[in-house]
Chain A
Amino acid sequence: MDSGEERRLDELYRRHVPEMVRLAYVVTGDASVAEDLAQEAFVRVAGRFGHLRNRDAFGAYLRRALLNLCKNHFRRRDTERKFLSTESEPGSTHPQEAADTTYAVRSALLSLPVRQRAALALRYFEDLSIEETARALGCRPGTVKSLTSRAFHSLRVRLSEEEVDPA
């Protein structure tokens, strides 16, 4: 690989991966898993699409690959959870203790199904539009509305003791 290509790869990494780690962390709630998934997504997308002329398209593909990996992670975790339930492994890692006022919201967020959490992360963390969120999740805009609506409903129920106003 020539040095120009190396620099380009480095630039892609610097530009996109830290933000993807944060997005994955918001979706998975596990910092080390988030970094693993973001790096894995980068390997897959840069490996295939590293030569895209349109740099913005790279970010979109990366985000989509990341969210797919998040979903796979939760599916696999289902199995691992079952496996570990009779093993002496330490519990799964959690990001934060109840140290700040948003802990209840965090906790409620992490209890949502991964697709709902991903939809909220794209809408309210990445600030994507409904259409952009739909493209990232590979679904219709109506599905995004439905996912966020159901997520809000669950959050309202969970946070009812926190006196959260309806959106």
Chain B
Amino acid sequence: MNSVGERVGEAMHRMADDVRPGTTMSERVRHRTRRRQVRTAGGVTVGFAALTALIVFSAVGLRHVPPEPTPVPAEAPTFANVPAGWSQLPAPPEVRQDGTFVWAGDHLMDLGGTIPGSSSPTTSAYSLGPVGDGWSRLPDAPLASAGARAVWTGSEALFFGVGPDGWRGEAFDPAAIRWRILPDPPIERRDAFMLVWTGSELIVWGGGSRTGPPDRTGAAYDVGTNSWHRLPDAPLGLNQGQAVWAWPRMIVLGSLLDESNAASTKTAVGEEYDPRRNTWQVLPASSLSPQADSVVAMGRTVLAWDYVAQSQTGLFPIGSAPAQWRDVVEMPLRPTECYPDSAVVENDASPEAFAWLCGQAALWDQSRAAWMPITGAPTEGFRTDAPAFAAGDVIGAGRIVLLPPVGDHDWTTWAYRPPSNAPTAAEVAPPTFLAAVGWHTVSTSPDPTALEPNSDLAAWAANVPFDPADLAAAGNGHVLTVAGIPERTMRSLGADDVLITAWLPPGTQPLASPNVNFPTSQLPPLLSTADVAESWEGQVAPNVPEYRIWMTVDGRFLDVRVYFGTRHPSSGVLAAAQAELDRLRLPPT
């Protein structure tokens, strides 16, 4: 029989085998990292506060921190200067129909298509960016294409649906400036197939004609082994729909239409494929129209919408918890007889979904769970029948959305940059403690640009100085930019010491409904009502109890926790803690 330690190790390694994290940094992570680098570097050069932080970091063991003196640009030069709103970018030098555009990390690639008046696919390829103001010619592709689909892997653009029969793949590596041809896929050609990049594999799935049986087959191309493998057949076949990668599974949503455009289901339906288990699972039916849908993934949330301008977000938990579509939300668009399309665009607070419906546009702000109309679209109002706005034309390109040309009319590339969705100062106003002799207090930053996205709004108070490492870990020493826990301070509390944290938990404000666990009350929080835990998850030391006071104040949840250095604080210490709680203030609603 193994020891517990060995069994623990074995169980943990088996657990870890369940996850197959991608090795490619997402644009969102890259952007946030750059922002932090810029902030850190700028602070070090100009700010005493940051200098203090640097000293603190050194004190905790950092010995090699050459500060980066020059702020780095957050975007490729070609696209960094695109202002908020709509902009016109240079069009590709060759007018072609059915060309394939793909965002390749820092530049836009354009491949193939047919010259107007000709039915012959071409092999020419162009790049807009990453440097310069115009398009540049790339080496010709080995296989001609028209109407291919493409994904960006982080190092290569993979094009599928190329070649004489339109059922092959080719890849371009911009760093090596080199093309290669992919092996033949192990599944038969079909129309309306769906394509996603999983982080390590290209999945080609579904589609099929409207006159024959649905095609439930698919295959995955592994770039690491340069080989394909078949997927198990899906439970549902869909010949109209979209696929999206919502880590760690592919979500497909759509319908099965016949030659009269009649759907086999009343609403759009979907299923998910999990590459880790190589299994499919049918999702609950949505409430959306089965005629034309678009779907995007923003983190763990999937947003789907249809041509009659209604949307739903979906929660698809991993494991045994049930998948669920949330209530339908009306969009600020007019229902229009054309295919919807959408793309994810990065923004300050959280990614947003850009929705495009034949010249009308709207933006889904995930952080506020709301749609906003986008006015001034360049083609608004007169493109209701144009094939240029069929699915596949909207490309998320980091902080902007690109609408490259498709037909031979209006040979123009449009770009849209959403306004910042960073929270306002009022939205990030933290709780505070009034100053009092003998007490040390600190709150999260009221500066929306300094506060970490999704950080809790919090305040700390203690009748002992905060450990500098706690302040350094959660902020710059003067304000908190991340609502961490003053763990070191907490760990060193003595019998007469008190530490208080007060939070306004994010994501629950404003309240949708009353909650019995957060009874409606008024300030101050009363220690006499606290739920006392002598042993609690993450307890820093056995002598530190946690007094929890959860309440609803002016329609907001307030989470207050009080820590002492003993399980049996004296009446004097309890009174001192209550006096500090009396000094807690919340920002105006």
Could you tell me which A residues sit within 8 Å of B by CB distance? Answer: 1-2, 5, 9-10, 13-14, 17-18, 21-23, 25-26, 29-32, 34-36, 38-39, 42-44, 46-54, 57, 61, 68, 71-72, 74-76, 78-80, 82-83, 85-87, 89-97, 100, 102, 105-106, 109, 113-115, 120-121, 123-125, 138, 152, 155-156, 159, 163-167
Contact A105 B7, CB 8 Å, known A53-B66, A90-B321 = yes
- Size bracket of the B interface: 35 or more
Residues of A close to B73: CB separation below 8 A = 1
Residues of A close to B517: CB separation below 8 A = 82-83, 85-86
Residues of B close to A155: CB separation below 8 A = 4, 8
* A152 to B7 Cα, complex, angstroms: 11
| Chain B positions 1 through 33: 1 when the CB is less than 8 Å from some CB of chain A, otherwise 0 | 111111111111111101101111110011011
| Beta-carbon contact of B324 and A90 below 8 Å | yes
| Beta-carbon contact of A44 and B36 below 8 Å | yes
| Beta-carbon contact of A46 and B33 below 8 Å | yes
| Beta-carbon contact of B36 and A47 below 8 Å | yes
Which single residue of chain A is at the shortest CB-CB distance from B20? A18
Contact A38 B21, CB 8 Å, known A47-B37, A74-B537, A97-B320 = yes
**Given B9, B30, B505, which contacts A76 in the complex, CB threshold below 8 Å?**
B505
Residues of B close to A125: CB separation below 8 A = 9, 12-13, 16
Residues of B close to A52: CB separation below 8 A = 64-65
* A19 to B513 Cα, complex, angstroms: 40
| Beta-carbon contact of B8 and A79 below 8 Å | no
Residues of A close to B332: CB separation below 8 A = none
Contact A25 B1, CB 8 Å, known A86-B515, A109-B8 = no
| Chain B positions 33 through 56: 1 when the CB is less than 8 Å from some CB of chain A, otherwise 0 | 111110110000000000000000
* A148 to B406 Cα, complex, angstroms: 62
| Beta-carbon contact of A90 and B538 below 8 Å | no
| Beta-carbon contact of B19 and A113 below 8 Å | no
**Given A25, A50, A114, which contacts B33 in the complex, CB threshold below 8 Å?**
A50
Which single residue of chain A is at the shortest CB-CB distance from B25? A13
| Beta-carbon contact of B65 and A18 below 8 Å | no
Residues of A close to B74: CB separation below 8 A = 1
* A31 to B65 Cα, complex, angstroms: 33
| Chain B positions 173 through 217: 1 when the CB is less than 8 Å from some CB of chain A, otherwise 0 | 000000000000000000000000000000000000000000000
Cβ-based interface call for B575 (8 A): no
Given A1-B34, A5-B72, 8 other A-B contacts at CB below 8 A? A18-B23, A31-B318, A47-B36, A68-B473, A91-B321, A121-B12, A124-B9, A124-B12
| Beta-carbon contact of A49 and B29 below 8 Å | no
Q: How far is the CB of B153 from chain A (nearest CB, A)?
A: 12
Contact A49 B518, CB 8 Å, known A17-B21, A91-B321 = no
* A131 to B516 Cα, complex, angstroms: 45
Residues of B close to A34: CB separation below 8 A = 19
Residues of A close to B320: CB separation below 8 A = 94, 97
| Beta-carbon contact of A32 and B300 below 8 Å | yes
Residues of A close to B568: CB separation below 8 A = none
Cβ-based interface call for B438 (8 A): no
| Chain B positions 511 through 530: 1 when the CB is less than 8 Å from some CB of chain A, otherwise 0 | 01101111000000000000
* A57 to B487 Cα, complex, angstroms: 22
Residues of B close to A109: CB separation below 8 A = 8, 11-12
**Given A43, A68, A72, which contacts B36 in the complex, CB threshold below 8 Å?**
A43
**Given B7, B12, B30, B317, which contacts A90 in the complex, CB threshold below 8 Å?**
B317
**Given B3, B7, B18, B559, which contacts A96 in the complex, CB threshold below 8 Å?**
B18
Residues of B close to A152: CB separation below 8 A = 4-5
Residues of B close to A43: CB separation below 8 A = 29, 32-33, 36
* A159 to B6 Cα, complex, angstroms: 14
Contact A167 B3, CB 8 Å, known A1-B34, A13-B25 = yes
Could you tell me which B residues sit within 8 Å of A by CB distance? Answer: 1-16, 18-19, 21-26, 29-30, 32-37, 39-40, 57, 62, 64-68, 72-74, 154, 247-248, 299-300, 315, 317-324, 456, 473, 482-485, 487-488, 503, 505, 507-508, 512-513, 515-518, 536-540, 550, 557, 559
Residues of A close to B62: CB separation below 8 A = 49, 57, 61
* A80 to B557 Cα, complex, angstroms: 11
* A9 to B32 Cα, complex, angstroms: 12
Which single residue of chain B is at the shortest CB-CB distance from A81? B517
Contact A42 B33, CB 8 Å, known A72-B485, A90-B315, A115-B539 = yes
Which of A83, A85, A115 has its CB near the most chain B CB atoms (within 10 A)? A83
Which of B8, B24, B539 has its CB near the most chain A CB atoms (within 10 A)? B8
**Given A105, A156, A167, which contacts B11 in the complex, CB threshold below 8 Å?**
A105
Residues of B close to A105: CB separation below 8 A = 7-8, 10-11
Residues of A close to B154: CB separation below 8 A = 10
Show 24 residue pairs from A and B whose CB-CB distance is below 8 angstroms, ordered by the A residue.
A26-B16, A32-B248, A43-B29, A46-B37, A47-B35, A48-B40, A50-B33, A50-B37, A51-B67, A52-B65, A57-B64, A82-B518, A83-B505, A85-B515, A90-B317, A95-B318, A96-B15, A102-B14, A105-B11, A113-B538, A115-B538, A125-B16, A165-B3, A166-B4
**Given B18, B482, B483, B488, which contacts A31 in the complex, CB threshold below 8 Å?**
B18
Which single residue of chain A is at the shortest CB-CB distance from B503? A79
Which single residue of chain A is at the shortest CB-CB distance from B34? A1
| Beta-carbon contact of A25 and B18 below 8 Å | yes
* A106 to B74 Cα, complex, angstroms: 42
**Given A10, A50, A76, A164, which contacts B4 in the complex, CB threshold below 8 Å?**
A164
What are the 3 tightest A-B residue pairs by CB atom distance, in nearest-first order? Answer: A47-B36, A21-B21, A124-B9
| Beta-carbon contact of B64 and A54 below 8 Å | yes
Residues of B close to A89: CB separation below 8 A = 315
Which single residue of chain A is at the shortest CB-CB distance from B491? A139
* A75 to B517 Cα, complex, angstroms: 16
* A78 to B501 Cα, complex, angstroms: 14
Which single residue of chain A is at the shortest CB-CB distance from B35? A47
| Beta-carbon contact of B66 and A51 below 8 Å | yes
| Beta-carbon contact of B5 and A124 below 8 Å | yes
* A1 to B37 Cα, complex, angstroms: 10
* A65 to B394 Cα, complex, angstroms: 37
**Given B8, B16, B484, which contacts A72 in the complex, CB threshold below 8 Å?**
B484
